[in-house]
Amino acid sequence: MIVRQFVVGFIANNNYLLIDEESKEAALIDCTDYISELGSVLKEYDAKLKYILLTHGHFDHIIGVPKTKREFGAKVYMHKDDKDLVDESDAFMLSVGMQPFEHPEIDKYIEEGEEIYLGKTKIDVIHLPGHTQGGVGYLVDGMMFSGDTVFLESIGRTDLPGGNYEQLVKTIKDKVFTLDGDTILYVGHGTNTTVEHEKKYNEFV
Ligand SMILES: [Zn+2]
């Protein structure tokens, strides 16, 4: 699996492009904004964007979805428990002095246990509620794309819509720290880490 990381937008979100080398099928994990070099990177690998997989429904992970979907025709997946968060995002955006954005068209509302395939490579959906109610991690080949659940020696905010601190800590203990220690955590902002490192050094959990 090829992983390309893009740092996008004014909050420096990490968006990730996964490309299955055998089938040339690709998935973009989170879509902060339209990524101008996405087309050329896909071309470089002769790959086709099959999915846009959202880790959660906060604006800084989804604003680029409509334009990217129109351009590449990918299917957009998000957990069902973040549907209301997105549907009701206009009031939140105005409350923080920002403009409402075009809501993404979601092709499938996913749940825990869902399996998504790029060629023969399976991506498991792990429900990670706490930062938002519909937060998910995408687990593939010893890598977990975990959105804003856990960061390098830190955790996601719980003061934004959908957040719950106790639930987030429980999620990290039960759903992240139970993975193999060498699982790489590809996080939504900042530096990537591993399960083992966070079990040792994360003082929030
Ligand atoms: Zn978030």
pLDDT digits (tens, 9 = 90+) for 87-129: 999 999 999 999 999 999 999 999 999 999 999 999 999 999 9
The CA distances from residue 10 to 6, 59, 81, 100, 161, in Å, are 13, 12, 26, 16, 19
Å from CA of 148 to ligand 1 middle? 5
Residue 140: strand, helix, or coil: strand
> Which chain residues have CB less than 5 Å from ligand 1, an ion?
58, 148
Query: CA-CA distance, 179 to 174, in Å (whole number)?
Result: 9
**Span from the CA of 103 to the centroid of ligand 1 (angstroms):** 16
pLDDT of residue 171: 98
- CA angle 196/52/25 to nearest 5° reads 90
Give distance in angstroms: CA of 71 to centre of ligand 1: 25
Percent of the chain scoring above 90 in pLDDT: 100
Tell me the C-alpha distance between 54 and 110, whole Å: 10
Instruction: Assign 3-state DSSP to the chain and report helix, strand, coil percentages, each to 5.
Output: 25, 30, 45
Asked if 168 and 155 touch (Cβ cutoff 8 Å), the reply is yes
- Report helix, strand or coil for 133: coil
Report how far ligand 1's centroid is from the alpha carbon of 22 (Å): 32
Confidence band, pLDDT 50/70/90 cuts, at residue 182 = very high
Mean per-residue pLDDT, 9-20: 97
Give me the pLDDT at residue 151, please.
98
Q: Which pLDDT does position 205 carry in this prediction?
A: 94
CATH number of the 2-201 domain: 3.60.15.10
| Predicted local distance difference test score (pLDDT) of residue 145 | 98
The domain spans of the chain are 2-201
Task: Report the pLDDT value the prediction gives residue 197, as an integer from 0 to 100.
Answer: 98
pLDDT of residue 98: 94
pLDDT, mean of residues 190-194? 98
Q: What is the pLDDT of residue 169?
A: 98
| pLDDT of res. 188 | 98
Q: What is the pLDDT of residues 19-58, one digit of tens each?
A: 999 999 999 999 999 999 999 999 999 999 999 999 999 9
C-alpha distance across the termini of the chain, in Å? 30
Give residue 69's pLDDT band: very low, low, confident or very high (50, 70, 90). Answer: very high
Among residues 127, 120, 137, 153, which one has the least CA distance to residue 186? 137
Q: What is the mean pLDDT of residues 155-159?
A: 96
190, 195, 194: which is closest to 173 by C-alpha?
Answer: 195
Separation CA 171–CA 173 (nearest Å): 5
Q: In this structure, are residues 196 and 181 in contact, taking their beta carbons and an 8 Å threshold?
A: yes
What spacing in Å lies between the alpha carbon of 120 and ligand 1's midpoint? 30
Q: How far is the CA of 139 from the centre of ligand 1 (A)?
A: 18
